[in-house]
Amino acid sequence: MRHYVRRPESIIDKYLSDFTKPTNVGNHMDVYRQDNQYFVEIDMPGFNKEDIKIDFKEDILTISAQHEEETEETKKEMIYQSRRKHSVERKIRFSEVDIDQINAEYTNGTLKVVLPCIVHPEPETKSIELK
């Protein structure tokens, strides 16, 4: 029987291993309908308003964001760096949305998109006079 020896884990290894796991940035999303409107709320911390692009085409809402940090010349010897580039994209299909009334706001790292539904008027009843 073979015994495998594992090198002791240093404090730095332990610290960095917590940050190398995939993150869920952009994955925290709520989609709901209320008062004849759809609402989409996505947590997108770390993005600027200018980084976010929202499109609606053929019943599909596409939300995408890309953030790249500028690099500066430095003589630092980086041990770990994870803030260079980050991107998120979500596509959600909706039906009967009034495309001209869609609006969005980005506040405190949360994007909120409101998609009003097309309101169909109640069918009119017309009395026909008999002759």
Q: Could you read off the pLDDT of 72-127 as tens digits, one per residue? A: 556 677 776 666 677 888 999 998 999 999 999 999 999 999 999 998 878 888 88
Q: Does any domain span residue 106?
A: yes
Q: Does any domain span residue 104?
A: yes
Q: Does any domain span residue 125?
A: no
Surface-to-core class of residue 97, CB atoms within 10 Å of its CB (0-12 exposed, 13-18 middle, 19+ buried):
middle
Count up the domains in the chain and report the number.
1
Q: Does any domain span residue 7?
A: no
Of the chain, the percentage scoring pLDDT greater than 70 comes to 69
Q: Where are the beta strands (DSSP E) in 1-131?
A: 29-34, 37-43, 52-57, 60-68, 85-93, 103-107, 110-116
pLDDT band at 20 (very low <50, low <70, confident <90, very high): very low
Residues of the domain holding 112: 24-70+82-116
Q: Judge contact between 30 and 43, C-beta under 8 A.
A: no
Q: Give the number of other CB atoms < 10 A from CB of residue 17.
A: 10
Q: Does any domain span residue 13?
A: no
**pLDDT value at residue 81:** 63
Q: Does any domain span residue 10?
A: no
Q: Does any domain span residue 131?
A: no
Looking at residue 47, which CATH number applies to its domain? 2.60.40.790
Q: Judge contact between 26 and 88, C-beta under 8 A.
A: yes
